[in-house]
Structures are given as structure tokens and as C-alpha cells.
A and B are shown apart, each in its own frame.
Chain A
Amino acid sequence: MSRYDTFHPFARVLHWLMAIMILAMLFIGAGMVSTLAEKHATLLAIHKPLGMIIFVLALIRLGFRLVHRPPPLPADLPLWQKLAAKGSHYVLYGLMIVMPLIGWGMLSAGKYPVTMGGGFVLPPILPQDPALFAWLREAHRYLAWLFFLTFLAHMGAALMHGLIRRDGVLKSMTTGN
């Protein structure tokens, strides 16, 4: 097989590491805003630094992808599925980068300390503004839903490639062959 038929091992490691982190983030986010039990504080304390780690990894991953092009989709894949695959990847990459920035910006607009743990605080990236806080807070919520729905489509499509079409697309991100 040519080296274009699979993802670079570094890309595969980043993909699965970030898959776990992002899925954890979405569940932590949904849980922490709906509970007033003690775990609310714990979840909040994880959510902020984990979001920043995802942001940094997403930039590394995007940069790596630009110099290591992913393998092409199967030539016989219907056009609508090719477009859906391409579109959903734009959405996933966009959200990986935009969601942490919205979270950081929203805390800045609310003049909250952006705590990373151990007394380390990130500087604000936006001025204090309650209306801006509210817009960003709601954007964070609805984009998180979009993130989760896109994840479901992504996972469903990957399983479809692996179980129904068996065309090597899922393998290109797992075992690599």
C-alpha cells in the first residue's frame, strides 16, 4: 500500500487522544451546567484546563494535517457522502479551535478568572461586557450541541465504512492498513 492510503501514526495518535478528550469535555459540560451537586465544582475545574489542552492540540493537529495530507476517500463513494465527510471535518476542526476560544472569551467578558489550576490564571482576551458574555455563553451551549451531533454523524459514518462498506476508511485511522 502506498503511504497515502493511511493516516500518519502521529495523526492517528492525536485523533484518538483528542476523541477521548473532546467527548469527555462534551459530557463534562452537559453535566456541570445541569447539576448543583458537589461534582459541579470538580467538573468545572477540569473543564477549563482540558479545554485549553484541546485548543493547543487542535492547532498542532491542524498544522500537521496541512503538511501531511490525509488519504483520499474511496473513489466509488457517492458524491453526497464525500461532501458530507468533507463538511463534517471542517465543522469538527472549526469547533475544536473555536469552542475553547469562545469559552475563554466568555469568561473574560464575565470578568471571571480563567483558572488553569494551581493558582495559574490566563489573561482575559475580551473586555468585561455582560451582553457579550450572554451571547458567547449561549453560543458555547448551541455549538456544543452541534459538536456532539457532528460527532455522532462522524462515528456513525466511520462504523458504516468499517462494518458495511469495509473499504479501509476506518482502518486508515485505526490499525493503519
Chain B
Amino acid sequence: MQDPRNPRPPSGLAWRWGVIGLAVVGAAAAFGYAGGWLTPDRLSPKKIVNVLQANSGLHPGYRRNHAKGICVGGRFEASGQLAAFSEAKLFAQGVSTPVVGRFAIPGGNPQAPDSSAPIRSFALRFDMADGEQWRTGMNAMPVFPVSTPKDFYDLNVATAPDPATHKPNPEKAKAFFSTHPETGPFLAWISQAKPPASYVDETYKSLNAFYLRDNAGQRHAVRWQVVPETPSTGDGGPAAGDTDYLAADLQKRLAQGPARWHLQFVFANDGDPVDEAAKAWPDDRKVVDAGTIVIDSWQPQADGPCRDVNYDPAILPHGMEISGDPIIVARSAAYAESYLRRTSEEGHLPGTERPKEAQ
């Protein structure tokens, strides 16, 4: 590209072009590395969502996990007891914060029977007055099965349905669990767990540990749980063959009045594992009651306000922080990927399945 009218053609032309080429190619390669294109073996949000999608089938427009659920609405009324441990404004005494909630069952199949897994989940988005938000996705179980994203991925690969039998291969699952002893507490629980007949009677847990930060800048490691206040009405559970009893039960309960839970924060002692979701903390830990969650309305998820909420557990108000638990960030990244896929399907983006045509 040398100008023929340039009076002094530079010497070492090849070397000069080499520098330019190296700068451009080097920058492009560094960008490729940052984007993960040069390390295809690295575990990515896409891979996690792909394995969930492969295990449950593609259901356009739906969440890739916890696909079957129902929207609920209400508020959180703070007791003020947690305000000493977190400067998040929603915990100040007397503050009432609207919530958009969602009850769901695990798995990516929105038509799955309610009894398909003994786990129920409860997600909440707290909409604070100044525009801040707190989002949390909780599960009715004592611990998470594994403590790292890689193990979660491997667990889903090991329990993938066999193409021939449509059921997980017991040998592969057994091999995974025997080489992952941290799954012991979860396996012990789930072997006894019965699928409850109501969303309302369950205790839901954050499973992951987070930090509260107080006015003085001190951090406190916590997990939280929402514990039902409503005593069980115990009407005998669902009729035989009824696969959608959870939504019907919730509607019946809410017709009688609001359902209430206490939002309790469990504080770690020194030495309790903060970064391992598969490990429970002993039962005697300090518990602070932050206030009451009041749920008084419901809507089907197809057009309810929870449908387009990504219950990303890393969205926290000032005064709450993520811990070093690697599952939190992995959930955040994978939920973002799942959210993009289902909103792309809603938006009929090129190359995506259309929700209505797929039915």
C-alpha cells in the first residue's frame, strides 16, 4: 500500500507488514480466547443448558429447567430483625415490598406430571421502591446434590435418558454417585422423600450460601429458607390419575385466604462450609426471622407476570452479596442462556423454534 509519490520508501517493508499482521491477528486471537472459541472443551453456559434440553426435550418458549409452574403475587413484610445484619432496604422494619413469585417442579418438560419428582421450587423477585431487585430461586430439599458446576453437568450427563428405554441408565448413574461421595446427603434424603400434594406446606431453601453486609461493612455468611405458617389442611391429596394437582391445590388454598411463610436467615458458624452447596450446616445455627412473605394471588404461567422473569440468584440488592459458592454464578450464567433461548423463541428470532407451531 506504499504511495509511489512517497519520497522516502521505508526500509524493511516485510518486517513492517509483519508487525501490522501480528498486531491484528494477535488481537483477534486474544478476543477468540476470551470468547471461549479457542477452548471448546471449557464448560460453558450453553453446554449446561444443552444437556438439560437434551434430557427433557425441546419445549420452545419454556424454561429449560423447572418448566412447569404457576405464577403467584404478594408482598414481603419486613420484621426489621435482619436490618442489623444487612443494609438492604427491604429488611428495614415496616417496609413492605411487592413480590412476583413462581412455584414449579423440576425438569424441562412443561407437561410432566406433578408427581414426577419429589422436589418443588419457589422463586421470588422482590421489587424494591428505588428500582433495586432481589431475585432468588429456592428448592424444597435440604442440600444440593453436588457442589461444582462441572459435577452438576456430569450428573446430568450420567442421568440422561437412554435413547432405547427413555430412562436413565442405572449403571451410569451408579458410577457417578459412587465416585461423588458429596452426593450422599442428597441421596439419603431423596430415597425417603415423598412428592408433597401442595406447594403451600413446603419449606424452601436457598441451598447456596450468600453474604449479608451490614452498615459497618461486616460480612455475615447465611443461607435462607421460607417456612410455611399456614397449617396443612390435609384433605387427602390428589385423586388417582390427577397429574396437575399442585396448581389446583394452590388455587383452592388461595381462595380461602393468603398463604404465609417466614423468611428465615440461617447464620454460618466459623468453619461451616460456605462454598459447598452439597453440605448442610448443623441444625443449631442462629436463625433470624426477616419477616413474612404473603402470597395472595395466582395466574397461569402462560400469561402471568412470572413467565418473563429470569430468577437469577446473583441479582441481589445492595447489602447482600454472592459468596464463593461456584454454583451461584453458574446458575446465573445458565439461567441467562435459558432466558435468551426462550425469549428468542417468543420473539420468533431467526433460527429458533416457534412456541405455537411446535405444539
Chain A 136-177 near chain B by CB (<8 Å), digits 1 or 0:
011000000000100110011001100111110000000000
B193 within 8 A of A: no
Indicate if the CB atoms of A160 and B1 lie closer than 8 Å: yes
Indicate if the CB atoms of A41 and B308 lie closer than 8 Å: no
A130 within 8 A of B: yes
In chain B, positions 323-359 with a C-beta closer than 8 Å to chain A are: 324, 326, 328-330, 332-334, 336, 339-340, 342-344, 346-349
A41 to B8 CA separation, bound complex (whole angstroms): 53
Number of residues in A with C-beta < 8 Å to the partner?
47
Indicate if the CB atoms of A160 and B20 lie closer than 8 Å: yes
Q: Which residues of B contact A131 (CB under 8 A)?
A: 343, 346-348
A133 to B2 CA separation, bound complex (whole angstroms): 47
Residue of A nearest to B307 (CB): A130
Q: Which residues of A contact B238 (CB under 8 A)?
A: none
User: Shortest CB–CB separation between residue A162 and chain B, in angstroms?
Assistant: 9
Given contacts A155-B24, A159-B20, contact A110 B310 (CB under 8 A): yes
Given contacts A159-B19, A160-B20, A164-B10, contact A119 B2 (CB under 8 A): no
In chain A, positions 105-153 with a C-beta closer than 8 Å to chain B are: 110-113, 115, 118-119, 121-123, 128, 130-135, 137-138, 148, 151-152
Residue of B nearest to A148 (CB): B31
Indicate if the CB atoms of A35 and B44 lie closer than 8 Å: yes
In chain A, positions 6-42 with a C-beta closer than 8 Å to chain B are: 26-27, 30-31, 33-38, 40-41
Indicate if the CB atoms of A113 and B329 lie closer than 8 Å: no
Given contacts A30-B35, A31-B34, A166-B6, contact A159 B343 (CB under 8 A): no
User: Shortest CB–CB separation between residue A76 and chain B, in angstroms?
Assistant: 6
Q: Which residues of A contact B315 (CB under 8 A)?
A: 112-113
B317 within 8 A of A: yes
User: Shortest CB–CB separation between residue A92 and chain B, in angstroms?
Assistant: 15
A117 to B48 CA separation, bound complex (whole angstroms): 29
Indicate if the CB atoms of A118 and B23 lie closer than 8 Å: no
Number of residues in B with C-beta < 8 Å to the partner?
59
B133 within 8 A of A: yes
Given contacts A27-B30, A137-B340, A165-B3, contact A36 B131 (CB under 8 A): no
Q: Which residues of A contact B48 (CB under 8 A)?
A: 36
Residue of A nearest to B21 (CB): A156
Given contacts A36-B44, A36-B329, A38-B326, contact A76 B3 (CB under 8 A): yes
Chain B 5-26 near chain A by CB (<8 Å), digits 1 or 0:
1101010010011011001100
User: Shortest CB–CB separation between residue B261 and chain A, in angstroms?
Assistant: 24
Indicate if the CB atoms of A36 and B30 lie closer than 8 Å: no
A176 to B210 CA separation, bound complex (whole angstroms): 52
Indicate if the CB atoms of B347 and A163 lie closer than 8 Å: no
Q: Which residues of A contact B340 (CB under 8 A)?
A: 134, 137
Given contacts A31-B35, A148-B31, A152-B24, contact A163 B19 (CB under 8 A): yes
User: Shortest CB–CB separation between residue A15 and chain B, in angstroms?
Assistant: 17
Q: Which residues of A contact B329 (CB under 8 A)?
A: 36-38, 40-41
Q: Which residues of A contact B307 (CB under 8 A)?
A: 130
Q: Which residues of B contact A123 (CB under 8 A)?
A: 131
B132 within 8 A of A: yes
A132 to B308 CA separation, bound complex (whole angstroms): 12
Q: Which residues of A contact B187 (CB under 8 A)?
A: none
Given contacts A30-B31, A35-B36, A164-B13, contact A40 B346 (CB under 8 A): no
Given contacts A37-B326, A38-B329, A138-B344, contact A121 B20 (CB under 8 A): no
Q: Which residues of B contact A27 (CB under 8 A)?
A: 30-31, 34
B84 within 8 A of A: no
Indicate if the CB atoms of A164 and B1 lie closer than 8 Å: yes
Q: Which residues of B contact A132 (CB under 8 A)?
A: 347
CB contact between A113 and one of B13, B131, B339, B346 (< 8 Å): that residue: B131
Given contacts A131-B348, A156-B23, contact A110 B339 (CB under 8 A): yes
Given contacts A110-B310, A113-B132, contact A164 B17 (CB under 8 A): yes
Given contacts A30-B34, A35-B333, A111-B309, contact A165 B326 (CB under 8 A): no
Residue of A nearest to B318 (CB): A119
Residue of A nearest to B149 (CB): A36
Task: With a 10 A CB-CB cut-off, give which of B6, B319, B343 has the most chain A CB atoms.
Answer: B343
Q: Which residues of B contact A130 (CB under 8 A)?
A: 307-308, 342-343, 346-347
| A to B CB contacts below 8 Å, 25 in the list | A27-B31, A33-B35, A33-B45, A34-B45, A36-B329, A36-B333, A38-B326, A38-B329, A40-B332, A41-B314, A41-B322, A41-B332, A112-B133, A113-B315, A119-B319, A130-B342, A134-B340, A138-B344, A151-B27, A159-B19, A163-B16, A164-B1, A164-B13, A165-B6, A167-B3
Question: Given A27-B30, A131-B348, A163-B19, 4 more contacts at CB 8 Å?
Answer: A34-B42, A115-B132, A133-B343, A152-B24
> Which 6 pairs of residues, A with B, have the shortest CB-CB distance?
A119-B318, A131-B347, A34-B36, A30-B35, A36-B333, A121-B131
